[in-house]
């Protein structure tokens, strides 16, 4: 009886440890791609096919965005998921960003000024929104989508126009627009590694 119990406990532990490792490690996701590979494979994609992005994939993009770190965990953001073709076109025209016009999904990462300290020089929210933006770009790559960061912040002309087209309240500042879709081009990721940009203090 003891032997059976010991075997059962070991088997359960093995399953537990295995699933725990899978959950916590950064090795392989379901599609067999490691996060380091995703980071290296990410590159700006500006041409897309007409194939719409599935709701499940959009949800994963939004979850990845909302998982970003933020100063004092204020999460000073709102994310807009835009799939309406006319609005996408209007947004592209008013902000002068051609990749947006070609996208089937545009995600707009907005800073929520009601969640910042309220001091005009408190720009931590923009750091936070940058982290959200990069998370969305990586999640797009991981799901076989193409995406490009189109900057709005800190250009008031661009973020005011985006806010107006989207009908957002004054407290939301469109920080970035991410054009997303199934890739219509296949550029090689740039190799940006250079020791010139590194200072090693050992």
The residue number with the shortest CB distance to ligand FMN is 151
Q: How far apart are CA 168 and CA 110, in angstroms?
A: 10
Site map (CB under 6 A) of ligand FMN, residues 16-55, x = contact: ---------------------------xx-x---------
- In whole angstroms, how far apart are CA 113 and each of 28, 33, 41, 74, 122? 37, 37, 34, 11, 10
Going edge to edge, which strands form the sheet with 172-181? 77-82, 105-112, 172-181, 146-151
Pick from 186, 190, 193, 199 the residue near ligand FMN by CB under 6 A.
190
According to the binding rule CB under 6 A, does residue 97 interact with ligand FMN? yes
Binding segment (CB under 6 A) for ligand FMN, from list 24-32, 64-72, 81-89, 145-153: 145-153
Name which of residues 151 to 170 contact ligand FMN (CB under 6 A): 151
What's the sign of the alpha-carbon dihedral 69, 56, 91, 160?
negative
The DSSP 8-state label assigned to residue 148 in this structure reads E
Distance CA 83, CA 123 (A): 29
The residue from 65, 76, 99, 181 that contacts ligand FMN (CB under 6 A) is 99
* Structural contact between residues 79 and 132, judged by C-beta atoms closer than 8 angstroms: yes
Q: Does 150 bind ligand FMN (CB under 6 A)?
A: yes
Least distance between ligand FMN and beta carbon 6 (Å): 53
Choose between 30 and 186: whose C-beta lies nearer to ligand FMN.
Answer: 186
Options 33-41, 75-83, 147-155, 160-168: segment touching ligand FMN (CB under 6 A): 147-155
Q: How far apart are CA 202 and CA 35, in angstroms?
A: 27
Contacts with 114 (C-beta within 8 Å, 6 or more apart), sequence order: 171
What residue ranges bind ligand FMN (CB under 6 A)?
43-44, 46, 97, 99, 148-151, 190
């Amino acid at each position: 009886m003891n032997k059976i119990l010991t075997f059962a406990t070991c088997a359960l532990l093995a399953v537990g440890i295995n699933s725990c490792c899978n959950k916590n490690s950064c090795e392989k996701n379901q599609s067999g791609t490691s996060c380091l590979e995703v980071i290296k494979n990410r590159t700006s994609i500006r041409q897309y096919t007409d194939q719409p992005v599935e709701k499940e994939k959009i949800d994963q993009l939004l979850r990845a965005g909302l998982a970003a770190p933020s100063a004092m965990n204020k999460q000073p953001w709102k994310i807009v998921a835009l799939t309406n073709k006319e609005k996408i076109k209007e947004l592209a025209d008013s902000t002068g960003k051609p990749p947006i016009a070609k996208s089937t999904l545009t995600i707009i990462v907005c800073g929520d000024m009601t969640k910042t300290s309220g001091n005009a020089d408190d720009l931590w929210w923009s750091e936070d929104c940058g982290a959200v933006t990069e998370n969305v770009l990586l999640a797009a790559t991981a799901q076989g989508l193409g995406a490009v960061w189109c900057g709005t912040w800190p250009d008031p002309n661009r973020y005011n126009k985006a806010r107006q087209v989207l009908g957002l309240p004054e407290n939301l500042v469109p920080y970035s627009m991410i054009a997303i879709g199934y890739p219509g081009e296949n550029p090689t990721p740039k190799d940006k590694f250079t020791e010139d940009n590194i200072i090693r203090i050992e």
